[in-house]
């Protein structure tokens, strides 16, 4: 699968947390939580640089990224691989910024990262391999989070 479908866009809109993995200039991994990951087009994701100094520095030397967004109750989601570019002060930046503002994001946004997605994989918990049904898994994790 390599296209960001409407189903995937809707999933990303519902999930408010994903993780972006980059590689630093010395080759060490970096993973950073992001609450602004959206499907921008059929082959592009976007996220906002709100407080991402390490991610942004890493992308300047190595544009390759992996992004993982999982529904914490259903234990299903997507892994995206691709190449990122940082955009600022352009009509596309303005369009994506408007999208974020229209959707309630008030934090200062320093830049937008646009990811050309080359590969999309579904991520599914091994619990499903055991025949456990979606409703059981959701109920189990909902109880877990409510008990915290």
pLDDT band of residue 148 (cuts 50, 70, 90) is: confident
Return the domain boundaries, the chain. 6-146
Q: Are 97 and 109 in contact (CB under 8 A)?
A: yes
95-142 residue pLDDT tens:
999 999 999 999 999 999 999 999 999 999 999 999 999 999 999 999
List the structure tokens of 80. Answer: 């995206």
How big is the chain, counted in residues?
Answer: 148
pLDDT band of residue 1 (cuts 50, 70, 90) is: low
Return d(Cα 80, Cα 78) in angstroms, integer. Answer: 6
CB atoms near residue 22 (< 10 Å): 23
Q: What global pTM score does this model have?
A: 0.93
Is the pLDDT at 26 greater than 90? The verdict is yes
For the chain, helix (H) and strand (E) counts, in that order, are: 4, 7
* Arch. (CATH architecture) of 6-146: Roll (2.30)
29-54 residue pLDDT tens:
999 999 999 999 999 999 999 999 99
* Mean pLDDT, range 54-78, rounded to an integer: 96
Phi (first) and psi of residue 100, to 5 degrees: -60, -45
């Amino acid at each position: 699968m390599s296209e960001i479908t409407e189903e995937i866009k809707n999933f990303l809109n519902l999930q408010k947390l994903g993780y972006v993995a980059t590689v630093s200039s010395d080759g060490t991994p970096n993973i950073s939580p992001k609450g602004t990951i959206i499907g921008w087009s059929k082959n592009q994701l976007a996220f906002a640089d709100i407080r991402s100094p390490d991610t942004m520095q890493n992308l300047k030397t190595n544009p390759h990224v992996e992004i993982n967004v999982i529904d914490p109750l259903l234990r299903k989601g997507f892994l995206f691989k691709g190449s990122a570019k940082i955009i600022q002060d352009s009509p596309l930046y303005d369009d994506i910024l408007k999208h974020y503002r229209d959707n309630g994001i008030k934090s200062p946004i320093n830049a937008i990262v646009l990811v050309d997605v080359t590969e999309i994989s579904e991520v599914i918990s091994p619990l499903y391999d055991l025949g456990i049904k979606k409703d059981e898994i959701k109920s189990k994790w909902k109880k877990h989070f409510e008990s915290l």
